């Protein structure tokens, strides 16, 4: 296609020059110059395409690797919670308390421990799933959690850990403080699909549950606990520090990480225009439809709050393999756009210089060829 365009251009210029009353030397120089211009333009277009593709592909490859790191950090936190619940569930004080139906010693033994471990909730149930004690909300007990997938599995001697979404009423049973922490206003965001509610009261939690067994291996009850991710920035900041190491571009963090409940940011280090964490904002419509709607990863540019980023998103699944949110990492596109512009400018200056040299050489050659 390019060769056909060149032939057409060459023929057109030759035809124009043929009808003009100028010397053969000048005509030849102009044809050389036209050829040099054509080659310069074609080279610039090719270089522009190659540079753009190379830079964008490298950036997308990096965010894809960064997403793997983010997933590792997320799963490691689940593993930490699981280990805490497992080692706590084998304590003799729990076994004795369940057998004797006397919770006082259990409360005294574990209250300090739970504060050290940083769990937002910890609940002890008997073998029927009836709540005996909530360590962060002692006055709330007697309800039945047998249908909770975590409690149900552990009462069947199947330890379990993972992600779960709890409703506002479920969080309220664990304490008013936790329910208030989970509540987020939905903030209108450019390019979002459209908010379905003014306020989000549900919370995403990382949770584990283990059976409490007697010395014969019989189930006495279960211990379940975890952390709320709404307004909890431990994971996203750890991801940012591991992956982006505090690198800034024009006084702004180049890399960000986010945990979404559905398409709503509940934990993020993306900042809004006022310099606050952009919790309560939503993902771009196309991302929401691709990741939440189709269950596929999104690894390309996306509009994040108020800037374009080179991004990677993947679905977050709960223990029932239902898509409940998204995990995101991204880098500011402006840095790579500026890098691309600088490279293209250098190639353009090089091309213009080459064309100027070609013009001078063409005139010199034509002068020498037709010198009398």
For residue range 184-195, list pLDDT tens digits in order. 999 989 888 876
- In the predicted model, what is the mean pLDDT of the chain? 83
3.40.50.1820, 3.40.50.1100, 3.30.450.20, 3.30.930.10: which CATH number matches 234-332?
3.30.450.20
Mean pLDDT for 255-266 is 96
28 CB-side CA count, 13 A: 13
Q: Which pLDDT score is estimated for 228?
A: 97
90-228 is classed CATH 3.40.225.10? no
Higher pLDDT, 354 or 13: 354
Contact call for residues 279 and 265 (beta carbons, < 8 A) = yes
Mean pLDDT for 179-184 is 96
Q: In whole angstroms, what separates CA 21 from the centre of its chain?
A: 66
- Count of positions (residues) in the chain: 372
Q: Which pLDDT score is estimated for 333?
A: 82
- Tell me if domain 90-228 and domain 234-332 are identical in fold: yes
Q: What is the C-alpha to C-alpha distance for residues 47 and 30, in angstroms, rounded to an integer?
A: 25
Q: Which pLDDT score is estimated for 349?
A: 63
Least confident of 55-59, 127-131, 191-195: 55-59
Q: What is the C-alpha to C-alpha distance for residues 105 and 110, in angstroms, rounded to an integer?
A: 9
Q: Which pLDDT score is estimated for 367?
A: 62
* 2 has a pLDDT exceeding 50: no
* Tokens 């300090």 found at: 112
Q: What percent of the chain has pLDDT over 90?
A: 53
Task: Sort residue 355 into left (φ over 0), alpha (ψ -120 to 50) or beta.
Answer: alpha
Contact call for residues 282 and 193 (beta carbons, < 8 A) = yes
C-beta pairs of 321-325 under 8 Å, 24+ apart in sequence: 323/291, 323/292, 323/295, 324/163, 324/164, 324/165, 324/204, 324/261, 324/262, 325/163, 325/165, 325/204, 325/259, 325/260, 325/261, 325/262, 325/266
* 21 has a pLDDT exceeding 80: no
Nearest to 235 by CA among 204, 264, 201: 204
Name the pLDDT band for 168 (thresholds 50, 70, 90).
very high
* Tokens 């690894």 found at: 299
Q: What tokens appear for 346 in the block? A: 């250098």
Is this structure's pTM higher than 0.85? no
> Where exactly are the structural domains of the chain?
1-77+343-372, 90-228, 234-332
Higher pLDDT, 246 or 338: 246
Q: What is the C-alpha to C-alpha distance for residues 237 and 240, in angstroms, rounded to an integer?
A: 5
Contact call for residues 62 and 336 (beta carbons, < 8 A) = no
Considering 24-28, 83-87, 187-191, the range whose residues carry the highest mean pLDDT is: 83-87
Report the 10 Å Cβ neighbour count for 263: 24
Q: In whole angstroms, what separates CA 64 from the centre of its chain?
A: 9
Task: Sort residue 258 into left (φ over 0), alpha (ψ -120 to 50) or beta.
Answer: beta
Mean pLDDT for 89-102 is 88
Q: In whole angstroms, what separates CA 41 from the centre of its chain?
A: 39
Name the pLDDT band for 28 (thresholds 50, 70, 90).
low
Q: Which pLDDT score is estimated for 339?
A: 56
Q: What is the C-alpha to C-alpha distance for residues 370 and 295, in angstroms, rounded to an integer?
A: 71
* 60 has a pLDDT exceeding 60: yes
Within the chain, what is the greatest distance between any pair of CA atoms? Answer: 120
Considering 112-121, 135-144, 222-231, the range whose residues carry the highest mean pLDDT is: 222-231
Nearest to 223 by CA among 232, 211, 213, 231: 211
Q: What is the C-alpha to C-alpha distance for residues 153 and 161, in angstroms, rounded to an integer?
A: 10
Question: Distance from first CA to last CA of the chain, Å, rounded?
Answer: 40
């Amino acid at each position: 296609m390019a060769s056909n365009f060149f032939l057409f251009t060459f023929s057109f210029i030759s035809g124009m020059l043929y009808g003009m009353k100028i010397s053969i030397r000048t005509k030849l120089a102009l044809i050389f110059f036209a050829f040099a211009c054509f080659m310069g333009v074609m080279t610039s277009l090719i270089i522009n395409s190659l540079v753009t593709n190379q830079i964008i592909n490298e950036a997308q490859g990096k965010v894809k690797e960064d997403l793997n790191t983010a997933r590792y950090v997320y799963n490691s936190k689940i593993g930490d919670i699981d280990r805490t619940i497992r080692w706590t569930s084998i304590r003799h004080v729990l076994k004795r308390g369940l057998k004797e139906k006397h919770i006082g010693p259990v409360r005294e033994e574990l209250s300090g421990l739970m504060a050290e471990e940083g769990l937002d909730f910890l609940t002890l149930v008997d073998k029927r799933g009836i709540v005996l004690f909530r360590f962060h909300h002692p006055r709330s007990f007697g309800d039945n959690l047998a249908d909770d997938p975590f409690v149900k599995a552990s009462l069947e001697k199947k330890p379990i850990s993972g992600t779960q979404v709890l409703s506002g009423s479920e969080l309220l049973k664990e304490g008013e403080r936790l329910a208030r922490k989970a509540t987020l206003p939905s903030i209108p965001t450019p390019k979002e699909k459209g908010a379905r509610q003014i306020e989000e009261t549900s919370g995403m939690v990382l949770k584990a549950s283990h059976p409490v067994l007697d010395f014969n291996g019989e189930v006495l009850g279960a211990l379940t606990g975890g952390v709320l991710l709404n307004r909890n920035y431990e994971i996203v900041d750890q991801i940012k520090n591991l992956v982006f190491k505090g690198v800034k571009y024009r006084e702004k963090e180049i890399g960000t990480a986010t945990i979404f409940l559905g398409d709503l940011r509940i934990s993020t280090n993306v900042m809004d225009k006022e310099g606050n964490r952009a919790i309560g904002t939503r993902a771009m419509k196309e991302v929401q439809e691709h990741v939440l709607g189709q269950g596929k990863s999104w690894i390309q540019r996306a509009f994040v709050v108020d800037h374009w980023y080179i991004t990677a998103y993947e679905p977050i699944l709960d223990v029932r393999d239902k898509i409940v949110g998204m995990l995101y990492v991204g880098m500011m596109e402006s840095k790579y756009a500026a890098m691309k512009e600088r490279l293209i400018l250098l190639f353009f200056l090089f091309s213009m210089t080459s064309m100027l040299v070609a013009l001078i050489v063409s005139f010199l050659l034509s002068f020498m060829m037709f010198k009398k």
